[in-house]
């Protein structure tokens, strides 16, 4: 599969047989994304929580490409209330889709739609696709149960926020890498706004100091996993 990083927490996975999965596609109002919503399409959209910088342009993209949304129950109901297809899940539950397996995890954060609708608990998500496992933590502070997530799922790629203020900062994110023990960590949720400025190279050095590997992706870069 391929993984493309748009910036912030927005990623696109393309499976070996060409299915496209977007995660938290915040593009048009995202000053760091080189790609805008008109340029992407999706078969599936996975949302970690209801905040505007994560729902992003989901509905615009869905209006064109009719994807299936995958998210926790209350957020899925909100998506469905907008007329889109949604698969309701919840934290701790996994489901096998035609592209792979999706399991939701806890995240310590908030969740509400831009219009003020209740969208349930925030989440992280573990995706197992084409033999690789990717853990997108969502927006979260550091939590000890990350150890359990790493123990129960052999994580190949961890996508972890480093921007501080709303989520883990660099030092807590390094601790999170120690807990989850992924093959490779990719930093996210930084530099989008002045309040979440962070140096991904500093994060990379600190991750290397604990004997782990970090990969800093360029905005818009796509890699083969
Ligand atoms: Ni958030
Ligand atoms: Mn956020």
State in Å: Cα 109 to ligand 1 middle: 7
State in Å: Cα 209 to ligand 2 middle: 27
Residues 6+ apart with CB under 8 A from 48: 9, 23, 24, 54, 71, 107, 122, 123, 124, 125, 136, 138, 139
State in Å: Cα 3 to ligand 2 middle: 20
Looking at residue 103, its pLDDT comes to 98
Find the ligand nearest to 107 CA: 1
State in Å: Cα 27 to ligand 1 middle: 15
Looking at residue 37, its pLDDT comes to 98
Looking at residue 26, its pLDDT comes to 98
Looking at residue 148, its pLDDT comes to 98
Looking at residue 22, its pLDDT comes to 98
Predicted TM-score (pTM) of this structure: 0.98
Kindly list the strands in the beta sheet with 94-97, ordered across the sheet, starting from the edge strand earlier in the chain.
94-97, 100-106, 123-129, 132-136, 157-161, 184-188, 213-214
Residues of the chain with pLDDT under 70: none
**Residue 119 and residue 107 in contact, taking contact as beta carbons nearer than 8 Å:** no
Query: Could you give the angle at the alpha carbon of 73 between the alpha carbons of 75 and 49, nearest 5°?
Result: 35
SS3 174: helix
Residues 6+ apart with CB under 8 A from 208: 214
State in Å: Cα 169 to ligand 1 middle: 14
Looking at residue 14, its pLDDT comes to 98
Find the ligand nearest to 122 CA: 1
For 2-215, CATH number? 3.60.15.10
Residues within 5 A (CB) of ion ligand 1:
51, 139
Looking at residue 149, its pLDDT comes to 98
Mean confidence (pLDDT) of the chain: 98
Residues within 5 A (CB) of ion ligand 2:
53, 139
Q: Which two tokens stand for residue 111?
A: 């969740």
Find the ligand nearest to 111 CA: 1
Looking at residue 122, its pLDDT comes to 98
Looking at residue 208, its pLDDT comes to 98
**Tens digits of residue pLDDT in 163-219:** 999 999 999 999 999 999 999 999 999 999 999 999 999 999 999 999 999 999 999
Integer Cα distance of 124 and 9 in angstroms? 11
State in Å: Cα 202 to ligand 1 middle: 23
């Amino acid at each position: 599969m391929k993984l493309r990083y748009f910036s912030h927490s927005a990623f696109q996975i393309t499976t070996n047989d060409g299915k496209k999965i977007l995660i938290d596609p915040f593009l048009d109002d995202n000053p760091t994304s080189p790609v805008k919503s008109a340029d992407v399409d999706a078969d599936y959209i996975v949302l970690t929580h209801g905040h505007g910088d994560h729902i992003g342009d989901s509905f615009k993209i869905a209006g064109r490409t009719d994807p299936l949304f995958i998210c926790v129950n209350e957020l899925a109901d909100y998506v469905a209330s907008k007329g889109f297809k949604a698969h309701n899940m919840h934290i701790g539950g996994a489901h096998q889709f035609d592209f792979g397996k999706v399991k939701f995890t806890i995240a310590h954060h908030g969740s509400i739609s831009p219009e003020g609708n209740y969208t349930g608990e925030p989440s992280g998500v573990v995706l197992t696709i084409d033999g690789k496992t990717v853990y997108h933590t969502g927006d979260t502070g550091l939590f000890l149960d990350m150890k359990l997530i790493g123990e129960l799922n052999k994580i190949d790629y961890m996508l972890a926020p480093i921007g501080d203020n709303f989520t883990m900062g660099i030092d807590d994110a390094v601790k999170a890498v120690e807990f989850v023990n992924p093959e490779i960590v990719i930093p996210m949720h930084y530099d989008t706004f002045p309040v979440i400025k962070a140096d991904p190279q500093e994060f990379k050095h600190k991750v290397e100091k604990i004997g782990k590997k970090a990969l800093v992706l360029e905005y818009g870069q796509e890699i083969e996993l």
